[in-house]
Amino acid sequence: MLEPTRETNQMTQDSTPSATAKADIQDSFEIGSDVIYGLQGRCVIVGRESKVVGTESIEFFKLQTQKAQLSRSKKVEPYIWAPVHQAKKQGLRKPLSPDQVEGVQAVLTSHDIYFDVDQPWRITLKILEKAIAEEGVIGLAKVVSFFEGFKIKNPIPDQEIGRMDQLTFRLLTRELSECTGQSIKSQEERVMKAMKHKELP
C-alpha cells in the first residue's frame, strides 16, 4: 500500500538513481519543507539520515506528520522514513498550490468517476494508490470522485472501503482548506456540492 510503515518504508530493487535524479530530489525537498506524503498527508521534513538495509546504505527523508489545526490530539506520532531516491515515486510532493485548485475542481465537477467500480477491491486499491502517488493532488481528487460513484452502486460499502473513502476525503478537504484559507467544513460542503453530478458509466 501507499501508506507506509512508520519505521521502514517499502523498498524495491530499483537501481541506484543517477546524480541528476538525486540533485532534482534534493532541490525539491529541503529540510524544513512542508510536504504531502501519499496517504500520510501533510508532513514536515525534519532531517535526512542514512540507514543500512541489507548490505546497502540508503538515504532517507525523516518526516514528521503535521496535525490539522483543529486537532485536539497531543499524541506524538513516530517518524516516517521515506527513501530519498524513491520519494516522489511513493507520493512525496509539495502541498496544493493556488494555481492547482482549478484543476482539482475540474476533476470533482466532472461526471467521470475515473476508475472501474466493478473490479475486485484489492485490485482497485492498488490502482487508487498508484494514482495518488503518480498524479498527486489531481490523483487524490480522482480517488475521492471514484468513491462518490462507488457509493451510488454500493450505498453501504465494506468497512475497509469506507475507511479509505473517509481518509481520502479528509486529506483532500484539509489540503484545500490549508491552501485557500477557508474552513475545512466549507471545503467539505464545496467538494460534496461539486460531486453531485457524478454518475456511473
DSSP tag of 8:
S
Q: Which residue has the cell 486529506?
A: 171
- d(Cα 186, Cα 183) in Å, to the nearest integer? 5
The DSSP 8-state label assigned to residue 98 in this structure reads G
Number of domains comprising the chain: 2
Question: 35 and 121: one domain?
Answer: no
> Domain for residue 119, yes or no?
yes
Of the residues 93, 118, 133, which one is the last residue of a structural domain?
93
| 140 and 178 part of one domain | yes
CATH classification at residue 39: 2.40.10.170
Mark whether 111 and 165 lie in a shared domain.
yes
- Could you tell me if 118 and 165 lie in one domain? yes
Shared domain for 134 and 148, answered yes or no, is yes
Whether residue 111 sits in one domain with residue 23: no
Answer yes or no: is 6 within a domain.
Answer: no
Helix axes 159-180, 121-153, angle to 10 degrees: 80
- Say yes or no: 104 and 87 in one domain: no
CA distance 57 to 68: 34
- The pLDDT score that the predictor gives to residue 14 is 47
Collapse the DSSP code of 120 into the 3-class scheme (helix H, G, I; strand E, B; otherwise coil) and give the result. coil
Give the domain-ending residue among 59, 75, 93. Answer: 93
Position 18 scores a pLDDT of 54
* Same domain for 115 and 38: no
Task: Tell me the CATH number at 170.
Answer: 1.20.58.1290
Q: Are residues 64 and 146 in the same domain?
A: no
Give the separation between CA 134 and CA 140, rounded to whole angstroms: 10
Residue 13: CB partners within 8 Å, gap ≥ 6? none
Query: Residue 121 belongs to what domain range?
Result: 98-194
Residue 72 DSSP label: -
Query: Which DSSP string corresponds to 36-66?
Result: EEGGG-EEEEEEEEEEEETTEEEEEEEEEE-
Tell me whether residue 177 is in a domain: yes
User: How many whole angstroms separate alpha carbon 136 and alpha carbon 128?
Assistant: 11
Q: By the 8 A CB rule, do 42 and 64 touch?
A: no
Does residue 3 lie within any of the structural domains?
no
The domain boundary, picked from 64, 93, 122, lies at 93
Grid coordinates representing 56?
546497502
Q: Are residues 128 and 165 in the same domain?
A: yes
Q: How many residues does the chain have?
A: 201
Residue 137: C-alpha distances to residues 37, 55, 95, 121, 163 (Å) = 11, 35, 8, 22, 19
Q: Return all residues near 46 (Cβ < 8 A) that are at least 6 apart.
A: 31, 32, 62, 63, 64, 79
pLDDT at 70: 65
Q: What local confidence, expressed as pLDDT, does residue 201 receive?
A: 77
Query: Could you tell me if residue 199 is inside a domain?
Result: no
pLDDT tens, position by position, for the chain (201 residues)?
Answer: 454 444 444 444 444 555 554 545 555 799 999 999 999 999 999 999 999 988 999 999 999 999 877 666 777 789 999 999 999 999 999 999 999 999 999 999 999 999 999 999 999 999 999 999 999 999 999 999 999 999 999 999 999 999 999 999 999 999 999 999 999 999 999 999 999 989 887
